[in-house]
Structure 1
Amino acid sequence: MRVKLLNAPIDCLSMDQSVERVAELISAGGPRRVITLNPEILYRAVQVDHDLLELINKADLVTADGEGIVWAGRVTGTPFPERVTGIDLMLRLVDRAAAEGWKVYLLGAAPGVAEDAAKQLTRRFPGLQVVGTQHGYFKSDEEVAIVQSIKQKGPQLLFVALGAPAQEKWIDRHIESIGHVVAVGVGGSFDVISGRVARAPLWMQKLKIEWLGRLISEPSRWRRMLVLPKFAWLVLKTYRLGRKL
Structure 2
Amino acid sequence: MGRTSPGRCGVTVADTSSAASEILGVPVDAVTTGQALDIVDRAIRERSGLHIGVVNAAKLVNMRRDSELRADVLSSDLILADGMAVVWASRVLRRSLPERVTGIDLMLGILGRGDARGYRVYCLGASDEVSRTVEQRIAEEFPGVRIVGRQHGYFTEEDEPGVAAAIKDSRPDVLLVAMTSPRKERFLARWSRELEVPVTHGVGGSFDVFAGKVARAPKGWQRAGLEWLYRVLQEPRRLWRRYLVTNTLFCLMVAGELLRPRTARASRN
* Counterparts of 1:86 and 1:218, CA distance in 2: 21
**What pairs up with 1:144-223 in 2 under 5 angstroms?**
144-219=161-236, 220-223=238-241
Which residue in the other structure is 1:7 paired with?
A: 25
Q: Percent identity?
A: 36
Contact kept in structure 2, 1:156 and 1:181, CA below 8 Å: yes
Q: How large is the Cα RMSD of the aligned pairs? A: 1.5
Relative contact order, CA 8 A, sep 6+: which one is greater? 1
* Superposed displacement of residue 21, structure 1: 1.4
- Kindly provide the amino acid, as one letter, of the partner of residue 105 in structure 1: Y
Determine if the alignment matches structure 1 residue 236 to structure 2 residue 263: no
* Superposed displacement of residue 186, structure 1: 0.9
Determine if the alignment matches structure 1 residue 41 to structure 2 residue 59: yes
Contact kept in structure 2, 1:31 and 1:178, CA below 8 Å: no
Determine if the alignment matches structure 1 residue 51 to structure 2 residue 42: no
Contact kept in structure 1, 2:75 and 2:189, CA below 8 Å: no
Which residue in the other structure is 2:246 paired with?
A: 227
Which residue in the other structure is 2:9 paired with?
A: none
* Superposed displacement of residue 78, structure 1: 1.1
- Kindly provide the amino acid, as one letter, of the partner of residue 231 in structure 1: F
Greater Cα offset, 106-115 or 50-59:
50-59
> What secondary structure sits across from 1:196 in the alignment?
coil
1:108-153 Cα deviation digits (max 9, x unpaired): 0112211111111221112111111100111222211111111111
> What secondary structure sits across from 2:128 in the alignment?
coil
Question: TM (normalized to structure 2)?
Answer: 0.86
Unmatched 5+ stretches in structure 2: 1-18, 265-269
> Highest Rg: 1 or 2?
2
Q: Which of 27, 35, 39 pairs up with 2:45? A: 27
> What secondary structure sits across from 1:240 in the alignment?
helix
Question: TM (normalized to structure 1)?
Answer: 0.94
